Each structure stands twice: as C-alpha cells, then as structure tokens.
A and B are shown apart, each in its own frame.
Chain A
Amino acid sequence: MRDYVLTRLVLAVGAVLGAAVLLFLFLDVLPGAGGADRPAWARFLGLFVGDTGAPNTFGERLAVTLPLALLALLVAGAVGAGLGLAAGRYRGLVDRLVRVLSGVLALLPPFWLGMLLALLFAGLLKLLPASGFVPWSNPLGALASLLLPSLALGLPYAGQLALRIRRDLGRVAERDVQRLRADGIAAFEASWQLGLARALAELPQAMARTFGALLIGAALVESVFFLPGLGRQILGAAEQHDLALLRGGLLLLIMVAAFGMLLLALLRVLVDPAFRAELRP
C-alpha cells in the first residue's frame, strides 16, 4: 500500500513538473510569447500560480470548468457503475444490451452528443437552457445551465467505465472461486463477490483517469454550450496564438487534473479490501 501511495504522489508531482518544463520550453522560447520583460525564472514560477504577466480570468473560468467536470464525473460514475454492475449481475440479455449500449456510448464524441442533447431538450422540448451560463450567484440557475453539458460530457465516459467494470467483474481467478465454493458458497455468488472486490479495487484509478479526461475534454463541450470555461479560453488562446495565456491555462488545467486524479486514486486505500486489511492492526 505504501508503494501505491508513493507511486501516485510521485506520478502527480512528476506530471505537473514535466508538463511545466515542456510547456515552458515549447511556448516560451518562441518570440511573441509575452512577458519577456521579466526574467525567465519569474515567468517559469509564475506558471504555477496562474500568473501570465497580464490580468487573466483563470479563477472565474475554473469556477465553470471544475464544477462541469465534477458533475460529469458524477454522471459517468453513477451511470457507468450502474450499467457495469447490472451486466455482471444479470448475464444473458441484460449483459448483451449493456455491452452494445456502452460500446456505442463510449465512441460518441461528447461535443456532438451535446449538440444532439441541445437540439432535443432545448430545441424540441424547450425544457433546459441550450447555451450560456448563469453566474454562481444564482446556484440553481448555474446548475441548470451545467446539466446538459455534464450529461453530454459524462455519458460517453459512463460507457467506457461500464465496459471496464464489466471486464473487471469477470477477471476472477478460478482457484479463488473454488476456495469459496469449498466454503459452501454457490458458484455464481462466489465469482460475483470476488469480481465485486476486484472491480471495487480498480474503481478509484478508473475514476481518476476519467476525471483527467473529463477535465481536458470539457473544452469542446464548453464551446458547444457557450460556457465561459477554462477549456474554451485555452482553445481561443491556441487559435489566436496567445502563448502566455495558452501555457498558463494549460498548466493550470493540468495541475487541477493531477491533483484531482491523485485524490481519487488515493480513495483506493479506503475501498480496496486488500489495502484495508493492511490498515488493521
């Protein structure tokens, strides 16, 4: 367990430092990168605190992107776990349906799904806001404007997660099943329990990877729904070759992703039966 925790920590710190060095090398050696009046070390350290050498709106941008990614994570986790567990519990027809549905969901580009959802719910049914963002001073309005985007962003990853959970549920060693059967547990129940333990142990890392992907993928969904998020700002900076804004925004996004992924991956200490056994004196 100590190895696991240490590995996660080193990976998170390494990812942030590596990204910072890469971004600095690629986006600061070129002319027009901005902020050249300051020494190089100040520009490099400024990256970590969101200082781009000019006033920026990273804070309020992140206040849109992070809740969007968290809501999408909720969607992906709930729908994905529901589908995956249903497939593992009810073999046969349910399993086949889940496999087809998840396979299709996993391949839908979130931004296109967002357009379809906007056409359906905002266009035809006129139920939900199709675009724009209500500031957080009106919490319910803000949540309502994030509802369709988080569905669009989360559902494809729910498909990926469901396939993953379904696979983990089936990855059970025959020997372990035999041991439980020797204790008098029915064959299906034995492999279900073992599979569940396995899936539960793998879930935190799967969720961590999903969170990273959601945070990065949020940019396109923000463009579809005209949300003033960090991802959309980064896309705009790339289009206008505003390198100072681009490297600052990208590193901020990567830092938030690395931190969130670390926290989620560390949840394994709480849910993995093998780790919990180690914690007990």
Chain B
Amino acid sequence: MTLEAASVRPGIDLRVVLGAALALIIAILALTSLAWTPHGAASLTPLAEPDAIHWIGTDATGRDGASVLMAATLTTLLLAIFGTLASLFVGIPMGVALALRLPPSNRTAHAIGMLPPALLIGVLVSGLAAPANLTLFLAIALPGVVVAAVITRRILAPLWHRDYVTAARLAGLRPLAAAQRHVLPRLLPQLVALGLELLAVAILIEVSLSFAGLGVLPPGASLGLMLREAQQFMTIRPLLIVVPGAVAVVTALALMLAASGLRGTRHGA
C-alpha cells in the first residue's frame, strides 16, 4: 500500500485516543513522583513481600517498589524524550533536504530497527567511560537521526511531487507558501507519528541498556536499572521484574498504537 492510498479519515481515530490516554496516564503518574510517592524514600525491610500497602513489595535496598517505580518511569521517559527530540531536530531537516534534492526512493526504515545499533553504540560509548546519560543520549539519538531522516524523506517525497503542489507552484505560489498550505497539513500527523514511534523505541533502548549496565547506574532509578537490580531476586520476588518491564512495554505499545492511528493506515505497530 502506498501513502497516497491512505485515506484521510474524518474525526479522530480511536487508536489515537486510546494510545494517547494510556501514555498520558503513565506520564502523569511518573510526574507525580516529583511531589509525592506512596512511601517516599523511607527505608523499610529489604525485599518485603507485596501487601496492601506495598503493592509490589520493597526492593533490595528496602525502598518501596511502587515509589521507586514512579520515579524510575520519570527518569526513563525523560531520557527517552531528550534522545527523541534530538533525533527529530536533526533528522527531520535532513530528511526534508534529501526529499527535495534527491529523486524519490523506496528506502524505508522502522523505528524498531534502532535497537541493535543502539546496543553497539551503548557498548562502545560506555566502554570509553562516558557518563551514563551521555551514553543513553547517543545510543538513542544517533540511530534515531538516521531513522527520522529516512522516514521523513519517504513521507515527504510523494507529497511534494503531487500534481496539486506543482500546480500551486506554477500558479506563482512560493515554495515555502506551497509547502505550508498544501504539504504541511498532510505531513504533520505523519511526523507526530514518527516522533511517537521513536519515543516508544527510545524507552525500550533505555530499558535494555540500563539492564545491561551501560545506562543509568545506582543510586539512580530507571526502569532498566530496576530490572537489573531485581534480576538476582527474580524467583522470590517476581513482581519486581514483571511490573517495571510491563510499564515500559505498555508505554511503548500505547505510543505505537497512537502512532499507527495517526498514520491512518491499517498496518500494525
């Protein structure tokens, strides 16, 4: 299916509403951790069993699991957002330049393809003793720039070479004005979708790298680090593994769902 065949639907796609709502709820819960968490940083019995007050028990250092989870989600989201914004700020202009200067191409990319290069970059940069935040930033942003440029080029090229755009330009509309009136309305939802997809994968990159010991380090808190710290107690406290991972995966899925709704296609994630 080509992009031209994608129908512009009236109204808002249900997938966008569902995905955005879920992602927003998670983001708000994460932000709340700045002001309030159920148990703060109080030291409790390490590895206590989950009960009505401590929903997923306590971690190995005696912090309440749910409280750490909220703060960890915030760290993960912030790191992912910074990396994604950098990818978009560099990648989209590159993609625009490529689309306008070069003939259209069939090359395409998928955000999920960022994971293997991100892992390689993470190993390399952290091997050079770079700070954790820089490692994660580079691991997300470098593959992100490539993906953003390739996808932007792929989306923009057919839109820019539409007959009605050419007609508008022949009628005397300047390129920027033509772009604003005839291209941007179709391009913008696609670019937002691109950003959401990059963000989803950036979350997975943070989780993977921090789990590998290449990202956030103690005494920080991130979803990947929670998994790393809970790994050795996996069999006695499975919730400390299941819940942080599920938060990361559900957030990523929600973002992908919203993105596929915005793209207006019937493809999956």
Residues of A bordering B, CB below 8 Å: 23, 26-27, 30, 99-100, 102-104, 106-109, 111-112, 115-116, 118-119, 123, 130, 160, 163, 166-167, 170-171, 209, 212-213, 216-217, 219-220, 223-224, 234-235, 237-239, 241, 243, 246, 250
Which of B1, B127, B234 touches A115 (beta carbons < 8 Å)?
B234
From A109, A123, A223, A250, contact of B123 by CB (8 A): A250
Residues of B within 8 A of A27 (CB): 124, 127-128
Q: Which 6 A-B pairs have the closest CB atoms?
A: A103-B269, A103-B268, A99-B268, A112-B245, A238-B127, A216-B116
> Which of B127, B214, B245, B267: most chain A Cβ within 10 A?
B127
CB-nearest residue of chain B to A102? B268
CA distance in complex: A163, B256 (Å)? 14
A220 partner residues in chain B, CB cutoff 8 A = 119, 208, 211-212
A223 to B256, CA, bound (A): 28
Which residues of chain A are near B194, meaning CB under 8 Å? none
Known contacts being A102-B268, A103-B269, A112-B227, is A235 close to B123, with CB within 8 Å?
yes
**How far apart sit A116 and B240, CA to CA, in the bound complex (Å)?**
12
> Given known contacts A107-B252, A238-B127, is B267 in contact with A216 (CB within 8 Å)?
no
Q: Mind listing 16 A-B residue pairs with CB under 8 Å?
A: A27-B128, A102-B269, A104-B253, A107-B256, A109-B207, A112-B227, A112-B245, A119-B238, A212-B116, A216-B119, A220-B211, A238-B122, A238-B123, A238-B214, A241-B128, A246-B123
Does B129 reach chain A (CB closer than 8 Å)? yes
For residue B3, CB closer than 8 A to chain A, the reply is no
Least CB distance from A195 to B in Å reads: 12
Excluding A115-B227, A171-B1, A239-B214, 7 further A-B contacts by CB distance (< 8 Å) are A99-B268, A119-B235, A212-B116, A216-B116, A237-B127, A246-B124, A250-B120
- In the assembled complex, the Cα of A171 lies from the Cα of B106 at a distance in Å of 13
Determine the chain A residues whose CB is within 8 A of the CB of B158 once the complex forms.
none
Residues in A with CB closer than 8 Å to B204 are: 107, 109
- Is B61's CB within 8 Å of the partner chain A? no
Which residues does chain A contribute within 8 Å of B212, judged by CB atoms? 219-220, 223, 235
Q: Which residues of A contact B124 (CB under 8 A)?
A: 23, 26-27, 238, 246, 250
In chain B between 83 and 131, which residues have their CB closer than 8 angstroms to a CB of chain A? 110, 112-113, 115-116, 119-120, 122-124, 126-129
Which applies to chain A's interface (DSSP): helix, strand, loop or mixed? helix
**B213 touching A106 by the CB < 8 A rule?**
no
Q: Are A119 and B112 in contact (CB under 8 A)?
A: no
Q: Is chain B's binding surface mostly helix, strand, loop or mixed?
A: helix
Q: How large is the interface on B (under 10, 10 to 19, 20 to 34, 35 or more residues)?
A: 35 or more
A217 contacts which of B1, B119, B207, B211 (Cβ < 8 Å)? B119
Is B142 among interface residues, defined by CB-CB distance under 8 A?
A: no
- Min CB distance A5 to B, Å, is 20
Q: What's the Cα separation between A246 and B124 when bound, in Å?
A: 8
CA distance A234 to B268 in the complex (A): 34
Which chain A residues lie closer than 8 Å to B199 at the CB level? none
Q: How many Å from the CB of A28 to the closest CB on chain B?
A: 11
Distance between Cα atoms of A171 and B234 in the complex (Å):
45
Instruction: Indicate whether A123 sits within 8 Å of B238 (C-beta atoms), given known contacts A213-B116, A217-B115.
Output: yes
Task: Check if A163 sits within 8 Å of B200, measured CB to CB.
Answer: no
B57: shortest Cβ distance to chain A, in Å?
15
B231 touches A224 (CB 8 A): yes
With A224-B231, A238-B127 given, is the CB distance from A119 to B241 under 8 Å?
A: yes
Verify if B140 is at the interface (C-beta below 8 Å from A).
Answer: no
Interface residue ranges of B236-269 to A (CB < 8 Å): 238, 241-242, 245, 248-249, 252-253, 256, 267-269
Q: State in angstroms the CA–CA spacing of A213 and B110 once bound together.
A: 13
Distance of B51 from chain A, by nearest CB (Å): 20
Shortest distance from the beta carbon of B101 to any chain A beta carbon, whole Å: 23
Please report the C-alpha to C-alpha distance between residue A104 and residue B213 in the assembled complex, in whole angstroms: 25
Is the pair B234, A118 in contact by a Cβ cutoff of 8 Å? yes
Nearest chain B CB to A244 CB, angstrom units = 11
Q: Whole-angstrom distance from the CB of A198 to the nearest CB of chain B?
A: 13
